[in-house]
Structure 1
Amino acid sequence: MKKDHPKLSVRRQFTLLSLARSTLYYQPCGESAENLKFMKIIDEQFLKTPWYGSRQMARHMQREGHKCGRHRARRLMRLMRLVPIYQEPKTSKKNPEHKVYPYLLKDLPITRPNQVWCTDITYIRMQRGFLYLVAIMDWHSRKVLSWRLSNTMDAGFCVEALKEALATYGPPEIFNSDQGSQFTSTDFTDVLKDAKVKISMDGRGRWIDNRMIERLWRSLKYECVFLNTFETGREARQGIGTWIAYYNEERPHSSHGLMTPDEVYDNRKPNMKLAA
């Protein structure tokens, strides 16, 4: 694992983790050694070809010499929350008993921080197992406002991340998510209602609305997760926390030219260093 970013103090790095002490001891989810190997291959291939469904992914695996049929590929992709971009955006399983809210972003220009926030969950591979990562992002600036890791897919870690973002930055006007059970749960939506936030949920054919946070996942995996071999939840949290601090504070976002997400969110000029 790479060393923590030198510009971040120990207190700053601990703050970025934003974790209850009990969560530091989560163990990664387990699968067989063969399935973990297949999940690593699927994860890397899906970043290159996000239109691959289970049938095409199984063909890719078989061409690479792996005994992985379509049913196995489909189960592992569901476990990893990988959904081809051409399908309805079922990035997490819906709960038919949960209320689904209307989509509010059609033809809406998003031009300022705290106008719209969004969220998503991704799979984080470990040396022996895997974890799930949720992030809350400001749509306009692309700033990561909060995040949490978990070894389960219940709504609890998503609620914790949402509460932290609201407490730190105040409420947005609109909060947009997919229709996954974590985000339609009353535990999650009640927090938004109490904060007087309008709730928006992606509908059929709206996978494109997740593109900015999908780009975050792509960058995180290529620049952090794939370059490190996280063995414990503590290592994963430290490594991801350091990378997210770099992403927010130092990494210019393509949508904003030379400006970082922090600079756009805070309406600051870019920190330009004059050549000697």
Structure 2
Amino acid sequence: MSKPSGLGALCGELGYSRQSYYQAKEREQHRAVEESAVLAGVRAVREVLPETGGRKLQKHLRQAGILIGRDRLLRILKHNDLLVRRKKNYRRTTNSNHGLRVYRNLVREGKPHRPNQVVVTDITYLRTLEGFCYLSLLMDLYSRRGK
């Protein structure tokens, strides 16, 4: 005796109804149509504003009548290699390649036991309208208070 063949029998073997199969197929087609509309909208915005990120894209798509959630939009962008990489906000201001003496760390593993036993210092660069300014900091390592 042979088993019945066909979509109904296959769905029955997997524990699904034929109706759920067709509903899933329809959902998949609907998502594909929505995704193509989103991609078309993203490409149109990116032609004018090539570095536009997810939030602004979502806003432009909403104005065009395409409603999509942030996570789904980002998933679609990632799947289609349309995510814009963030630029690192990094400026190198210190030149460590010099012939000057570099002092060793005298307090590498020791911890201070009282105030004013160890004082640490550092400098940082601040950008102003007139150029860079230097800010020097002194701090007591025990109390973590500035000097």
TM-score by length of 2: 0.35
Larger relative contact order, structure 1 or 2 (CA cutoff 8 Å, min sep 6): 1
User: Greater Rg, structure 1 or structure 2?
Assistant: 2
